[in-house]
Structure 1
Amino acid sequence: MSSTRDAVRAMCMAIEQYLDGVTEVVRAWPAAPATDSVAAKEAISTSRFVMMAASHAALSIEDGGDHLIGLTKLVVEPATATACFTCIRSMLESCAIGAWLVDPDTDPLKRQARVFAFKRSGILECRKFASCIADSAMEFEFDKKITLLEQEATAAGFSLTVPPDSKSGIGIKMPGATEMIRDVLGLDENYRLLSGIAHGHQWARQIMYKQASKIRPVVGPD
């Protein structure tokens, strides 16, 4: 048991050091993008949606860091048996969305389409929430937002090829969480297992605990 505690303590320290290092890099990074970088080239774009990708991605990745901090609090005594896994699941979702939006291998047109798809998906979820609480005025406002977004998309040259009630996106399909995590992070196997735990399936817990029991804790020198 003590070796497990030591391993958890070492993991938490490593996470804290990693986050501190990331913070230092971000603070030292110049406000303007590096010359000839993808960001610098796209900064001159006339579309606000291209640059909007960076702001959406920054928030998503920051959320990922927040989940990572949360993980360090969930694995120490009194440790949680399930919440730590659902925390990791949420972290994967946030980071995958952020990385998907600012993928350097994506051209400006496709990046713009991804922002349209992401925003449309979010507004549709807002409309569903309004419907759940029976707020017809709020639902009407979100309907208007969807219409305005679709008008901007068509003005930018994107076709509306999805059903009105679909969250697939505008001009590009909005990937589901598993698909995105597979394509962006290559961790769909992990995500499916974590999702099984989040949804209360005992088979997922059994597999996770069985795998964890095979891992021999490795603790570095003090």
Structure 2
Amino acid sequence: MVSTRRRTAHPGPSDKLRGAQANGSGTGVTLRPSVPGDAAGEAQTNEPRRFVRAWSEPDDLRILECLAAHVKKHRAPPARCQLLGLFAGRGLDKEEFTVTEIYEKVRRLRAQYEKMLSTPRPGQCHRRFELSKAIWGKGIAPAPAKSPDELRRRYPDLVDTVERISAAECQGRAGNALKRGLGFIDDTTAGRLNSLAKKQRCLEIKMMLKRHDLRKRVLSKRIKIID
């Protein structure tokens, strides 16, 4: 007699593996939950990401051209505070930038030029090299000394501070050397020192006014006591 009882099928190895994958359990097989940033489980958001354009190769050349024209006219690279005005409306691909961003870009361009000087390689952009050379010279040559009138006009607080230090602490040749050395400071450093000198001068004036006000109050009290 032929048995009509149906035989129960036993799961094979492939069936076990599929079951383990489905249930997240099994020998050596685990399911990893989706996490943010995971390619399989990253959630799609509708929030647009702000596009920030990077500096392009044409931007590098335009920046160098503007700097070279400024140096040719003023005999020195522009100060940090002049950079935004210098590059505004110059048709850069990166249309929006802060003074910090353009300052760092100029600093990197100079670092690249100094690297060209120390490790020249064939195939370097001749135009980029010549523009950089017109701006920064040989990389170590100091800028032409500024005249006392130019220093006084551009950095009045710094000049006043140097003159006061020279008169109070330096005598003879030392004081004159300090004032002459001021003319060789680059514009970026001179602008920063001028801002610091201005802040210091404002603090001194405030302290002087406070002392004057205190003196008036003390005198007023003494007059009342005498009366």
State TM-score, norm by structure 1: 0.22
Rg larger in structure: 2
Q: Point out the structure with the larger helix share.
A: 1
Q: Which has the higher contact order (CA 8 A, sep 6+)?
A: 1
